[in-house]
Structure formats: C-alpha cells, structure tokens
Amino acid sequence: MGYVSEAFAEARLDGLDVDCIAQAAVFASFVEMVATYGEEAAAVFAERLAERVRGGEFTVDRSAH
C-alpha cells in the first residue's frame, strides 16, 4: 500500500487528476488479477466490491493525518 500511496502522491505532484489516477490504478489492478488468477476469480472478487465499499472496508479516516 505504501508504494501505491507514493505513486499517487507523485502523480498528484505532476498535476495528474486524482480521479484519472484512481481509475488507471483499478484498471491495472484488474489486469494483473486476471493474468494471475483468471477471469472468473477476478469477476467473483469484483462482484463483492460494492458490498465491501458500502460496508466501509475502504474508508480511511483522513482526519488522523
């Protein structure tokens, strides 16, 4: 996670839009997941993402920084 956070920070410093960085990161992640685990496993993972997002699994308390 540290490497990814650093890459995001560097991209923002270079003036890239955060939304574009995030979408590219998600796309790259799924390309790797499909290459590693196959399309079906990646699809099963993706099917649960909405539930996990709504459950707060990806929410970070940014006020602590």
Dump pLDDT digits (tens) for 46-61.
999 999 999 999 998 7
Do residues 39 and 47 make contact, with C-beta atoms less than 8 angstroms apart?
Answer: no
CB neighbour list of residue 8: distance below 8 Å, 6 or more residues apart: 18, 21, 22, 25
- Dihedral angle computed from the Cα positions of residues 46, 56, 60 and 13, in that order, rounded to the nearest 10 degrees: 40
Structure tokens given for 14: 């270079």
Do residues 21 and 11 make contact, with C-beta atoms less than 8 angstroms apart?
Answer: yes
Q: How many domains does the chain have?
A: 1
- pTM here is 0.75
With respect to residue 64, please indicate whether it lies within any of the assigned structural domains.
no
**Which residue segment(s) compose the domain that 44 sits in?**
2-59
| Average pLDDT score over residue span 26-52 | 97
With respect to residue 22, please indicate whether it lies within any of the assigned structural domains.
yes
With respect to residue 40, please indicate whether it lies within any of the assigned structural domains.
yes
